[in-house]
């Protein structure tokens, strides 16, 4: 009888230890990040500096998916370019803080112009004057058509009234200049649904 009680006691102790070990493993297992409801704080509340690959951006009633993002830096100034893909085609969105002011613009590539950033540039019967030129370092993620990292030469132009925007970019010294025309957009013109972390 005593032997039976000892066996029962040993089994109970072992079972208790097993339960404690299993509970401690369960509590220390890393938890997966939960997906976020993109509309929880209202669709108009978004952080332009958090835009990234997988986000959905609505502009003029058309949804675009952010296919790729490029982060550029020159002299401590950082800005972002995002490749948007929608039913009306591809366009680029730039996001930058210029002396504390948020600046955003939408750009469309212009193929076959043969233009280079030398002096004043005439496009669509409008004269564009250079306002900025430089070389920035960049890193890219997603689909951008660029290398994952490197340097880019750029030149920005405007018309005299400041409405017409023209940009030149060259992602490698041996490449020809890419030409884009753009227009400024306000934060309120875009609706952004940030992609939450995957579980």
Residue 71 Cα distances to 49, 83, 130, angstroms: 11, 12, 23
Residues paired with residue 182 on neighbouring β-strands, in sequence order = 107, 165
Cα of first residue to Cα of last residue in the chain, in angstroms, is 54
Judge contact between 192 and 41, C-beta under 8 A: no
Judge contact between 94 and 105, C-beta under 8 A: yes
How far is the C-alpha of 140 from the C-alpha of 68, rounded, in Å?
Answer: 7
pLDDT for 199 equals 44
Q: What is the pLDDT along the chain (199 residues), one digit of tens a residue?
A: 666 555 555 555 555 655 565 666 655 555 666 776 655 655 557 899 999 999 999 999 999 999 999 999 999 999 999 999 999 999 999 999 988 899 999 999 999 999 999 999 999 999 999 999 999 999 999 999 999 999 999 999 999 988 899 999 999 988 999 999 999 999 999 999 988 664 4
pLDDT for 27 equals 53
**Mean pLDDT in the chain?**
86
Residue 52 Cα distances to 5, 70, 100, 153, angstroms: 65, 9, 21, 23
pTM for this entry: 0.76
pLDDT for 197 equals 62
Q: How many helices (H) and strands (E) does the chain have?
A: 1, 11
What are phi and psi for residue 48, nearest 5 degrees? -55, -30
pLDDT tens, position by position, 120-176? 999 999 999 999 999 999 999 999 999 999 999 999 999 998 889 999 999 998 899
Residue with tokens 């955003």: 104
């Amino acid at each position: 009888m005593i032997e039976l009680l000892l066996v029962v006691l040993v089994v109970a102790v072992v079972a208790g230890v097993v339960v404690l070990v299993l509970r401690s493993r369960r509590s220390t297992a890393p938890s997966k990040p939960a997906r976020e409801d993109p509309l929880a704080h209202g669709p108009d509340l978004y952080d332009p500096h958090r835009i990234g690959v997988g986000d959905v951006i609505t502009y003029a009633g058309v949804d675009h998916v952010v296919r790729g993002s490029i982060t550029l830096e020159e002299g401590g100034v950082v800005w972002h370019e995002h490749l948007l893909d929608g039913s009306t085609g591809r366009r680029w969105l730039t996001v930058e803080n210029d002396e504390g002011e948020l600046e955003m613009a939408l750009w469309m590539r212009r193929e076959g112009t043969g233009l280079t950033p030398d002096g004043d540039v005439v496009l669509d019967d409008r004269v564009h004057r250079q306002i900025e030129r430089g070389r920035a370092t960049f890193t890219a993620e997603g689909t951008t058509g660029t290398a994952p990292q490197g340097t880019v030469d750029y030149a920005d132009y405007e018309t005299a009234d400041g409405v017409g925007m023209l940009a030149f970019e060259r992602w490698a010294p041996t490449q020809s200049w890419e030409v884009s025309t753009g227009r400024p957009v306000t934060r309120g013109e875009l609706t952004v649904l940030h992609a939450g972390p995957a579980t």
